[in-house]
Copies of this chain bind each other. A is one copy, B any other.
Amino acid sequence: MFKVNENYQKLPGSYLFSTIGKKVSAYSAANPDKKIIRLGIGDVTQPIAPAIIDAMHGAVDEMGCAETFRGYAPDLGYEFLRSAIVKNDYQARGCDISADEIFVSDGAKSDSGNIQEIFAQNNKIAVCDPVYPVYVDSNVMAGRTGTYDAKTEMWSDVIYMPCTMENDFVPEFPKETPDIIYLCLPNNPTGTTITKAQLQSWVDYANKIGAVIIYDAAYEAYISEENVAHSIYECEGAKTCAIELKSFSKNAGFTGVRLGYTVVPKELKCGEVSLNAMWARRHGTKFNGAPYIVQRAGEAVYSEAGKAQLKEQVAYYMNNAKTIKEGLKEAGYTVFGGVNAPYIWLKTPGQMTSWEFFDYLLENANVVGTPGSGFGPSGEGYFRLTAFGSYENTVAALERIKKL
């Protein structure tokens, strides 16, 4: 008789955003006259930039002609895309990363869920708290997190690094020594980040204790301050301790196009074993490449026209961030983030829990946000709003919130 992976049964509740989706659907069904504004899930709203649309049309045409048709892509991504990535995202910033260290994928969510597979089960993971749920949940599914305590909402074998207003949202080196450290910077959900000097201290720490940093740089395009690193490889020594995950979802609006990449430096080793070779083997065995059309779209992100158009798109969302932040301040809220990231993290008013505030905002302002506690216990009492709505909706949402 077959047996199922029992770790799945340990997962409490459903995936955060599925729960929110269901709550909002139920409210909508009961109140069909209300116009709901969604500033919850980190999904973009602006259309794909013209330079990228052109590139996709061109690639679709190629797929329709025998002479230019493309079948299976190279396992690790087309050379044209990997070279564009290396040139623009790394060499231009002085990071010595080469094309055979880039692995093109169908998105950073897949990569952040799958990357744990190449590690042994008895590694101890450390995560910031609050944190993007995929890091923890994918480790739960792999049986790496011990037992769940429903009261503290914590796993016995996970090291939590609280990031709250008390420590300016800067994670501190944990007391217990971790093997794998997940860092998402600029941070989802808090919208805050750390300086390059602070990141360097994390790289030094990881090298000292022999840990791997899984560095999620999905929000890198939103960095506006000078002293913040765009890639962990800007830090000395990162190539022996860090894997970097990148997404095209936020800088180019690819949430529905699906493209990402992961950097695994060849210098990153466990004894004689190359993690680059392991990830290549994982890709070669369980993945068949991102669509050709989508890889051409990714290439267009790095064209001159593409870059100019996307700079405008990022500025558009960051103007929303400013609108939210200033509006909330005016309304008397305590707010964080929104400077180097498209997320605003607010302290819930009047001792409300995160889910109480979720219901309050949904019912009274018809605005959907994300409860901070959904990202981990230290998120309790906080709430996330995203800058990815349209400008008009963002302004309207803030008008409603100010009136509460």
Q: How far is the CA of A180 from the CA of B1 in the complex (A)?
A: 9
Residues of B within 8 A of A273 (CB): 4, 9
Q: Are B72 and A43 in contact (CB under 8 A)?
A: yes
Q: How far is the CA of A176 from the CA of B293 in the complex (A)?
A: 46
Q: Is A167 an interface residue (CB 8 A)?
A: no
Q: Are A293 and B120 in contact (CB under 8 A)?
A: no
Q: Are A120 and B281 in contact (CB under 8 A)?
A: no
Which residue of the partner chain B has the closest CB to A277?
Answer: B8
Copies of this chain, tallied across the complex: 2
Residues of B within 8 A of A258 (CB): 106, 288-291
Contact code string A327-340 (vs B, CB < 8 Å = 1, else 0)? 00000000000000
Q: Is A318 an interface residue (CB 8 A)?
A: no
Q: Which of B53, B107, B133, B287 is the one whose CB lies under 8 Å from A113?
A: B287
Q: Is A305 an interface residue (CB 8 A)?
A: no
Contacting B at CB under 8 A, from A240-275, are: 253, 255-258, 270, 273, 275
Q: Which of B4, B61, B63, B109 is the one whose CB lies under 8 Å from A257?
A: B63
Q: Which of B46, B56, B72, B138 is the one whose CB lies under 8 Å from A286?
A: B138
Q: Is A66 an interface residue (CB 8 A)?
A: yes
Q: Is A48 an interface residue (CB 8 A)?
A: yes
Q: Is A152 an interface residue (CB 8 A)?
A: no
Q: Most chain-B Cβ atoms within 10 A of its Cβ — which of A209, A256, A275, A290?
A: A256
* Chain A count of residues within 8 A CB distance of the other chain: 82
Residues of B within 8 A of A1 (CB): 179, 209-211, 270
Q: Is A65 an interface residue (CB 8 A)?
A: yes
Name the distance in Å between A240's Cβ and chain B's nearest Cβ. 12
Name the distance in Å between A272's Cβ and chain B's nearest Cβ. 10
| Given A4-B275, A8-B118, A291-B294, CB of A286 within 8 Å of CB of B47 | no
Name the distance in Å between A25's Cβ and chain B's nearest Cβ. 12
Name the distance in Å between A282's Cβ and chain B's nearest Cβ. 7
Q: Is A18 an interface residue (CB 8 A)?
A: yes
Q: Are A270 and B209 in contact (CB under 8 A)?
A: no
Q: Is A23 an interface residue (CB 8 A)?
A: no
Q: How far is the CA of A133 from the CA of B286 in the complex (A)?
A: 10
Q: Are B284 and A14 in contact (CB under 8 A)?
A: yes
Q: How far is the CA of A6 from the CA of B273 in the complex (A)?
A: 10
Q: Is A70 an interface residue (CB 8 A)?
A: yes
Name the distance in Å between A394's Cβ and chain B's nearest Cβ. 14
Q: Is A117 an interface residue (CB 8 A)?
A: yes
Residues of B within 8 A of A119 (CB): 2-5
- 24 A/B residue pairs, CB under 8 Å, sorted by A: A1-B270, A3-B123, A4-B119, A4-B270, A4-B275, A5-B117, A41-B72, A46-B66, A48-B69, A53-B63, A56-B293, A70-B256, A73-B256, A106-B287, A107-B288, A113-B286, A117-B141, A141-B285, A257-B291, A257-B292, A258-B288, A258-B289, A291-B293, A291-B294
Given A3-B120, A4-B120, A57-B57, 19 more A-B residue pairs with CB atoms under 8 Å apart are A1-B211, A2-B119, A2-B180, A2-B270, A3-B123, A5-B121, A6-B120, A15-B75, A15-B281, A45-B66, A53-B63, A63-B256, A66-B390, A106-B106, A138-B286, A257-B291, A258-B288, A291-B291, A291-B293
| A residues apposed to B, CB below 8 Å | 1-6, 8-9, 11, 14-15, 18, 41, 43-48, 50, 53, 56-57, 60-61, 63-66, 69-73, 75, 106-107, 109-110, 113-114, 117-123, 133-134, 137-138, 141, 179-180, 209-212, 253, 255-258, 270, 273, 275, 278, 281-282, 284-294, 390
